[in-house]
Amino acid sequence: MRVLFYGTPDFAVPSLRALLGEGFDVAAAVTRPDKPTGRHRSQARPSAIKIAAAAEDVPVLQPERPGAPEFLEAARGLAPDLAIVVAYGHILPQALLDVPRLGSVNVHASLLPALRGAAPIQRAILEGRAETGITIMRMDAGMDTGPILHQVATPIAPDETGGELSARLAELGAEALIEALTLMEETGVEPRPQDHARATLAPKISREEERLDWTGPAQVVARKIRAFDPRPGAWTSCRSRDLKLFGAAVVPESGEPGLVLAAGDALHVACGTDAVTVTEVQPAGRARMAARAFVNGRGVAAGDRLS
């Protein structure tokens, strides 16, 4: 089966062919254009998926706009049987989805119809969900609205971070994709329409959402810190400078919201109810470090107010 593979630039996979298994030929990998890097933004850094594709002599396409007529023509010229989309980051037009003979499938990191959108992993933790998973669906022109081919659920650990959950779901997604492709190729699978009345959304995280609100319950504050660990990082203001916090847990302490109750191996910060303890921080313009190192550097002390 000839496959057109769409993936985010950050999609790290040692081998596209190993991901799909035997019987699948990758016609091309499609990802976003290289990002400029360097002091003067004059160097182009290849993406992880581009590097993986190049190692296997798989052609790479990097359209600025996947809906552009020239890309549509290029996709048709590859004559794919199936398109596979993994967090590509663009809504593909129906004309492009219809290019492959067997249509297009998407790997989405939630149990649809819950958490449709760009940030299902972070929002699953933010909302305090006990469970999430992977959905393999047949794509249509909507935002994660297509019929479901296969789903696999997994619990969310109480102390799990966004990064840890992302890593687990990447492995689970690869397994679920192979299972779904096997079903499609060998036995067939009947797509199941989503119940749109039960749909919830997981839109892209905004800069303001990343800011911590110390007047909220400690449980909510701790969830936000875990959800945005390691990226983009939940932040607060400390001595008029941005400070990202990591390694959060709830502790039964109290004080004015935002007040640093203790500063040592961990920072204890009061919330609207209870308090949170954090073990790592990242001051603006510096690397992530242990809370103790930040305290020893006189970056924060008990009695300071975070806002």
Class of domain 2-198: alpha beta
Q: Which residue has the tokens 């302490």?
A: 253
Q: Pairing mode, if any, of strands 104-108 and 82-86?
A: parallel
* Separation between Cα atoms, residue 92 and residue 100, nearest integer Å: 13
How far is Cα of residue 192 from the mean position of the Cα atoms in its chain? 25
- All CATH 3.10.25.10 domain ranges of the chain, comma separated, are 208-296
Q: pLDDT digit string (tens) for 35-84?
A: 777 666 667 778 778 888 888 899 999 999 999 999 999 999 999 999 99
Q: Left if phi > 0, otherwise alpha if psi is -120 to 50, otherwise beta: which for 87?
A: left
The CATH number corresponding to 208-296 among 3.10.25.10, 3.40.50.1820, 2.60.40.650, 2.40.50.140 equals: 3.10.25.10
pTM value is: 0.91
8 Å CB contact between 109 and 85: no
Residue 130 has pLDDT above 90, yes or no: yes
- All CATH 3.40.50.170 domain ranges of the chain, comma separated, are 2-198
Q: What is the pLDDT of residue 233?
A: 98
